[in-house]
Amino acid sequence: MNKNYIFSLLSLFLFSLGHAQSYKKPLISAIKETDLRKDMYEMAADQFWGREAGTLDELKVSMWLADKAKEAGMQPAGDHGTFFQFFEMYRHQITSQSSLKIGDKNLNLWKDFLVAEPVNTSVDGEIVYTGNTEPEDLSKFNIKGKVLAVNASDKNIDKEMTLFVRRYPGFVRTKYYNKAYELGAKAIIFITDDISEKSWVEVLPQMTRGSYGVEGLREKITNNIPILWIKRENASWVKNNPKLSLNLITETYKYPSVNVIGKIEGTDPVLKSEYVLLSGHQDHDGIRHPVKNDTIYNGADDNASTCVAMLAMARAYKKQPGKRSILFVFHGAEERGLLGSRWHAAHPVVPKEKIVAVLNGDMIGRNDNNEAALLGGNAPHKNSEELVKMAEDANNESTKFKYLKDWDSPNHAEYFYFRSDHLPYAKIGIPAVFFTSVLHDQYHTPQDESENINYKKLYKMTEWMYRTSWKVANETERPKVIANFSLER
């Protein structure tokens, strides 16, 4: 055999050795389906009454999570040596002192009319009723300084979204708002159509609750023009251009919410100062309107599924730590607008530059065993080539999910990429991906319970997240953010 050929083979072999993984394989055997099932039946039980953010029930499940985190081997990483990072969530709500008079008729708040979002305002003016006019034709009417009244229309609104009935009034608002504002309208009154008529009972609790936020909420809502809804049977109230007198009064309440945060330290003297952030949210919808004679929205898939997966991954990391440290963040108040992740992204418990990547999970326990989605895996949502490759390599090694790539499309009806806790981190330039088994027909219903979880699927999703995190925790080079990455929506 030619000596040069042998030398080339030897050189290639030595090169491969030098670039092979210089770390142990992930300890998959430490992840147990029985642990996932046991934790799920505890966390998503009726005892926590749906874990609504800002309630004692959320605080109770936070205590449960902190105890489980300690048992799993985490060290506290919250404030003052605890597992807790408390923050204040603000609820901005229309008060019962608000009033509406159309012509000579005084209307009752929440019975005769709905207020879509809280805003402090007083409006006196003429109503201009435009019937079935679409937004592009509103300029035919003189609505400057007046109140636009229009029949709700579903034209050009995508009806494929889960919970469409509940979300429909929001789509109608968006459809008309900018044009009405541009033309100088002082308020908008929508008259229900078939869809919004059916949704009245579902959106009523949502509207009466008001809007939620963290810092700066009041400033964000005071400039909005008010959006009202009345039922179709009362359309005569706004015809013939009557006068309107509207006085909306809001008040703000502060509630405590909390992120539960733990860590497992890495083994490398240098790399252990860097963190892989594993993310999920602990809250759900609490007590709501009944569906099939049940009012407790347990949120098993959404999102106890990721919380119990994080506990399972912690047990694996405790038995076999990675080179980098792992930061486990169970976010509070996600359902109220990503409040916990927004707070932690702005006030991280470790230096922002030390967070090498965020691996977020949300709803990872349902649907086909062989299908899943990696949001942030494709342009324009992808913000790190290296992180996505690690997730794809992890999937190819074992779980072998077929990707539901359409869910990562900017044109998907759900806009799902923008609806979970990776988003605030991606916005501040941290590599981030979102693992999900996507939505199902029991999403945001009381039927999202422990017995309806697909535990084989939950195990596979947990393994995928864990394998990905193991790569991030042990590779010499940390993932980089794509240059000039930006999010538009």
pLDDT in tens, 309-332: 999 999 999 999 999 999 999 999
**Is pLDDT above 50 for 217?**
no
**Is pLDDT above 90 for 221?**
no
- Compute the radius of gyration of the chain from its Cα atoms: 26
pLDDT per residue as tens digits for the range 354-374: 999 999 999 999 999 999 999
Q: What is the mean pLDDT of residues 14-19?
A: 43
- Matching residue, tokens 């709500």: 93
Rounded to whole angstroms, the Cα distance separating 450 from 302 reads: 11
CB 325 within 8 A of CB 276: yes
pLDDT of residue 9: 45
**Is pLDDT above 50 for 337?**
yes
pLDDT of residue 216: 55
Rounded to whole angstroms, the Cα distance separating 321 from 229 reads: 56
Domain boundary assignment for the chain = 22-90+254-474, 96-248
Phi/psi-derived region of residue 155, left when phi > 0, alpha when psi is between -120 and 50, beta in every other case: beta
Rounded to whole angstroms, the Cα distance separating 279 from 328 reads: 6
Q: What is the mean pLDDT of residues 119-145?
A: 97
Q: Could you name the CATH architecture of 22-90+254-474?
A: 3-Layer(aba) Sandwich (3.40)
Rounded to whole angstroms, the Cα distance separating 290 from 278 reads: 34
Rounded to whole angstroms, the Cα distance separating 432 from 446 reads: 30
Q: What is the mean pLDDT of residues 286-292?
A: 93
Question: What's CA 317's distance to the chain center, in Å?
Answer: 26
Rounded to whole angstroms, the Cα distance separating 387 from 412 reads: 23
The fold for domain 96-248 equals Glucose Oxidase; domain 1 (3.50.30)
**Is pLDDT above 80 for 11?**
no
Question: What's CA 377's distance to the chain center, in Å?
Answer: 17
Rounded to whole angstroms, the Cα distance separating 194 from 430 reads: 44
pLDDT of residue 162: 92
Which amino acid is it at 400? K
Average pLDDT in the chain:
94
**Is pLDDT above 80 for 4?**
no
**21-52: b or e for each residue (b if 16 or more CB lie within 10 Å)?**
eebeebbeebbeeebbbebbbbbbbeebbbbb
Rounded to whole angstroms, the Cα distance separating 48 from 287 reads: 10
pLDDT of residue 16: 44
CB 44 within 8 A of CB 449: yes
pLDDT of residue 215: 74
12 confidence band (pLDDT: 50, 70, 90): very low
Instruction: Name the 3-class secondary structure at 117.
Output: coil
Q: What is the mean pLDDT of residues 66-81?
A: 98
Instruction: Name the 3-class secondary structure at 459.
Output: helix
Rounded to whole angstroms, the Cα distance separating 371 from 154 reads: 32
Write the CA distances from 442 to 103, 129, 332, integer angstroms. Answer: 44, 39, 22
22 confidence band (pLDDT: 50, 70, 90): confident
Q: What is the mean pLDDT of residues 471-479?
A: 98
pLDDT per residue as tens digits for the range 47-69: 999 999 999 999 999 999 999 99
